[in-house]
Structure formats: C-alpha cells, structure tokens
A and B are shown apart, each in its own frame.
Chain A
C-alpha cells in the first residue's frame, strides 16, 4: 500500500541535524489507523482504502457506524478518510496502518492535508491582501474598504458584479494541502512523524499525511 496515514497535529519544536543546523519541525501523532473498508475496481470502480483515526466515544456513534466498523473488527473512529490507491492493496480489512509504513518505504517528502485555522468573517485587506484606501487625503470611514467592484454594463458582463470577485467573507477553516514537506524522522514507539516546516490547522487538528505526489 502506498504510504498514507491519518493523524493529529501536536505542535512545533526544533531539531538539530548532524551539521548543527536547526530544523523547525511539526510533530504529528499518526495512527495506528484501522482499515475500515477496502474499495476495489470490481466492486466500486476504483481502488481505495478507508482509514480511521482515534476511537470515538460510544455515545457519539450511530448504529450504522458501529456496524460498519464491526465488519473491520474495529470500533467507530473520530476521523475517517479514504485514500485513493494506484494499485490494489495487499492489506486486509481490519489491518492497522502505522507510521512504520513510511519508514519501510523510505519516504523523504510528504504532502499534508488539514483544515486551516478559522479566522471568521474578515475584510478584503486581510482576506485577499487588498491595499485598502488612503489614511488621509480626504478619506473618511473607508480606510480598509475594497474600493470599486466593477462598473455597470461594461465588457459584456451586464449590470452585475463579476463572479468570484474578491470580497469580505469567511476566512480560514477550509481544506488546505501543503506539498513536498520533508519528513525529518519517524518515531515508531510513540507513533510520531516529524515534518519539516508547517502543517495546516490548529494544534489538535486532524491531518492526512501522504507520500508526496510530485517529489521524492
């Protein structure tokens, strides 16, 4: 199976390499993840495994989830994601995926998918890096506003605002992927991955770590 695992962001620290340079690392607690379901070309039209991470409280589960997990000889999981596979997997339903997978395959770079920190409703300066208006020269109560959002009836757009026009609105709390982060080390005993640089989301946020698609 190609290297992929679910986990939780723990926080950041630094480590030193042999040359003595400091490397900023994010610690991700990953796995062990039960394989809840295996999807195959014949039955589903594509190859994938469904992984779970962290047992859910029984009071937070439904009968459907319990039944689904029981077939994998497991219990309902807090965080469940499907991993698309290129080749059919050699693992069985109910097997555990651990960080050892990354070590066995000698993975050097990973992609990390997470949910970014929510910023709430934000204006255009923070959300889209607009410049805002002048601090003086007669500007009144409009120092952080967007300015014009399009003229009426021009360039065939009619009397309406162009779709996708950057405006104020909700920022953050969306799926974010950071690609090609170096995997500094794998801690089998504690189920930890040390990833150089940043990982999206707050501490304690769930993340998916996969072998880098375009590197290594």
Chain B
C-alpha cells in the first residue's frame, strides 16, 4: 500500500482526465517536441503492449514496426510531454502484457480487432455491474473509472 502523503502529492500533479486506452489497442501517441523555440506534436503510432507502475510513476509501452525492425517506446503516463493518446483500433487480447508479440513475425503480429458491436456495450457497463468481462489489472481500472 502506498503512503497517503505520497498519494496526495501525486494526485495534485496528475492529469485532470486520465488517458483512455486498453492493452492491445493501436494508438497514436502525441509526443510534444520542442525545436528551438517552436513546439510541435509528433505522433507515434503502434500497439500498446504493457502498462506498468502507478501514480506518477505509471508508464506504458508502445510497439511498432519500422523498416521491418521492431521499435518500442515507453512513455510516462503523466508526463506533460504526452499531448494525448488517440485510440485507432481496439485489439482483442487476453493478457495484460503482450511481450509475446516480440517473437511474432509477419502476419502473426496482427491482433484480432475487438468489434464495437460485440464487445463495446459490455465493456462500458462492466464496472457498474461488477462483472469483470475482460481480465485486467485491477490497480489500473479504479483510477480510470474515478476520473471519468
């Protein structure tokens, strides 16, 4: 259990609204880049394969393939350099950590898409009904729900 004083300090410095995405989603992460005195947002598009830590220390890892070479970037969830995260596509996964994708080559890398009609309705009402439809880290979930 974390110290309540530490939690208080972290809460003041966290995003007002948590970033919304799930493991396995294909996302576009807006990364703020400062060039000289100009600031611009560069997207990094890939699959979310992991989410780690809590509070201000929480990070998520995005994997993509560039020139047939796997590239992974780990972003601090609460960093002001992350302008936002946009979900491009939901992936259908059964794990919280998708490290197995690193061993996959070619078409096997693709995750099946989670279709809105089949899954989305259940997902949104899941916390209210208390029925865990998808296996998920419980630590991450209440935070996201609380801030909505």
A: residues with CB less than 8 A from B are 10-11, 13-16, 18-20, 22, 27, 29, 187, 190, 192, 194, 203
Contact = CB atoms under 8 A, between A and B. Distances in A.
A15 B5 contact: no
A16 B3 contact: no
Interface of B: 3, 5-6, 8-10, 13, 32, 34, 55-57, 76, 78-81
Contacts of A15: 9, 13, 56
Contacts of A187: 9
A131 B52 CA distance: 38
A87 to B, nearest CB: 33
A27 B8 CA distance: 11
B5 A20 contact: no
A13 B80 contact: no
Contact of B79 (A10, A16, A190): A16
B81 A14 contact: no
Given A20-B79, A20-B80, A190-B8, A13 B56 contact: yes
Given A13-B55, A15-B56, A20 B32 contact: yes
Given A13-B55, A16-B76, 14 more contacts: A10-B3, A10-B5, A15-B9, A15-B56, A18-B80, A20-B32, A27-B5, A27-B6, A27-B9, A29-B5, A187-B9, A190-B5, A192-B5, A192-B9
B73 to A, nearest CB: 14
B81 A11 contact: no
The 5 residue pairs across chains A and B that have the minimum distance between CB atoms: A20-B81, A20-B80, A10-B5, A14-B56, A11-B6
B86 to A, nearest CB: 19
Contacts of A194: 9
Contacts of B76: 16, 22
Nearest to A14: B56
Contacts of B9: 13, 15, 27, 187, 190, 192, 194
21 contacts: A10-B3, A10-B5, A11-B3, A13-B6, A13-B57, A15-B9, A15-B13, A16-B13, A16-B76, A16-B80, A18-B80, A20-B79, A20-B80, A22-B76, A27-B6, A27-B9, A187-B9, A190-B8, A190-B9, A192-B5, A203-B3
Contacts of A20: 32, 79-81
A46 B5 CA distance: 37
A14 B57 contact: yes
A16 B5 CA distance: 18
Contacts of A203: 3
A187 B80 CA distance: 21
A208 B3 CA distance: 21
A84 B3 CA distance: 33
A58 B5 CA distance: 26
B78 A16 contact: yes
Residue in A13, A190, A194 whose Cβ sees the most chain B Cβ within 10 Å? A13
Contacts of A11: 3, 6
Contacts of B8: 190
